[in-house]
Amino acid sequence: MSTAVKRRIAVAMSGGVDSSVAAYLMVQKFKDCPDTSIFGLYMQNWAPQDELLEGNRMPRAFCEASERDRQDAERVCKHLGISFHTANFVKEYWTQVFEPFIDDLSVHNMTPNPDVMCNREIKFGAMRDYILREDVPQKAQSIVTGHYARLAHCMSDVENTVLDHVDATSDDQKWLSYSDIIKYEGISKEGIKSPHSPMLLAARDIRKDQSYFLSGTQGQSLKNVIFPLGDLTKNKTDCPDKADLSVREIAVLGNLPTAEKHESMGICFIGKRNFPDFVRSYLPPSDTKIRREFIDIDTGRVMGSHDSGLLLTIGQGAKIGGASKKWFVCKKDSVTGSVYVCGGTHHPALYVDTFTIPAENFNWIGGNFEKAIETSHLRAFCRIRHQQPLVECTIQK
């Protein structure tokens, strides 16, 4: 007599080794649970026909890479004995991620991170909503992804995580996500002991940690999510305990078709491209009066020229031909198009003591401290860019 399936788990499959191992670990975990069903879901989020090249040619390299990824994802599912499905979120990706990204670049002179937007709007937005719906064949109660991050559902989980991963004799704690070692004044532990949504924690593998890219995701969207790779390292060389298996080793052990597949880096769901050329094709034509100059912020001297200041981020290295030292972007003039640069990594123009974020832009993932900071202030750690060291900060209204 067959057992009725009570729990369905969807694994987001990308065709890479990380999502493959995530699926493998889930299959191993529930292999003796006949009431649990696991399936793989591959997402199509970019339509190559929307970016016709000269002569109405589609980007061949992307089409081939995308099809290889889909085939690899399907091969892994077949190898694991789980069903394979596809879902199309091209429209959602275009309207919720790509158009706002281009708008921020061209209109607001900002350089947003598309991976942060992609996680919030697609993986834990459109995809999550789709999977949890009752009227679709691929509905499920839990979502699994290959992200390198962890979730904690109570304060004790956070404390245990810190004890496991912070050595008092080292400075490794500077790499932990702010949620790992949050400091607070005037707020008791009981205040966040049972949050409405889980707390986002940094991954064990500090080199692969993706908590920064998940920081824009609403906490409620993480309630049904599982990150099997959070306590693993990608490669053996990064394992603190050499007895532990790495993700690569697990892939080989499981004979996964993607075990030896190289890692691909590129724009979320769009793949590896020449980023400036690709994005520039979607930007409005530049004003011919715009100056494309790098200007020394100390002397006002023109140091060189640039293709487009819209694509440059404050703190980013400036590529100035013939320069004898490293220069960094420290200011952008959206009116003239000039980009101001400074020499060295410790120039005062690269640093600020305070900055303001609109309250509505704060994303309180593991508990809302907004009321607490109305009468007090919150001591925490912040990270400005991916994998930069954490710095102490104070949050106050």
Would you please indicate which residues are annotated as catalytic (active-site) residues?
118, 268
- Exposure string over 231-252, b if 16+ CB within 10 A, otherwise e: ebbbeeeebeeeeeebbbbbbe
Reduce the DSSP state of residue 294 to 3 states and report it. strand
In the Cβ-directed half-sphere of 318, how many Cα atoms lie within 13 Å?
35
- For strand 339-343 and strand 293-296, is the pairing parallel, antiparallel, or unpaired? parallel
Is the distance from CB of 115 to CB of 176 less than 8 angstroms?
no
Is the distance from CB of 229 to CB of 146 less than 8 angstroms?
yes
Among candidates 58, 199, 46, 176, which has minimal Cα distance to 114? Answer: 46
Q: How many CB atoms lie within 10 A of CB 325?
A: 7
Is the distance from CB of 221 to CB of 125 less than 8 angstroms?
yes
Is the distance from CB of 312 to CB of 292 less than 8 angstroms?
no
Tokens for 194?
Answer: 């049972």
The H or E element that residue 303 is part of is strand 302-305
Measured CA to CA, the distance from residue 81 to residue 390 in angstroms comes to 42
Calculate the CA 21 to chain-centre distance: 19
Residue 206 sits at the vertex; the CA angle it makes with 265 and 373, to the nearest 5 degrees, is 105
Alpha helices (H) in 238-393, listed in sequence order: 247-253, 275-280, 372-375
